[in-house]
Amino acid sequence: MRKVAIDTDACIGCGNCEGLCPKVFKVDEQAGKSSVILPSGGTEDCIDQAIDACPVGAIRWEG
């Protein structure tokens, strides 16, 4: 399975990714940044939707 990664420098903490795949992404409210909490927590389709929904293009597939 491919691995998803977030460019935390680019992330603006909008929450779109968490809204679409809440088991994969989690926004740290204090830091205002999202991170991958469980790479296998969602389907690739769900993660592709999050990639499309990220306003700053901070989510990408690795490898």
Q: Which residues bind ligand SF4 (CB under 6 A)?
A: 6, 11-17, 25, 27, 34, 53-56, 58-59
Which residue from 61, 23, 17 is spatially nearest to 40, judged by alpha carbons?
A: 23
Question: Shortest approach of ligand SF4 to residue 1 CB, angstroms?
Answer: 20
Residue 18 beta carbon to ligand SF4: minimum distance, rounded to whole angstroms = 7
Minimum gap (Å) between residue 39 Cβ and ligand SF4? 14
CA distances from 35 to 6, 15, 28 (A): 6, 10, 8
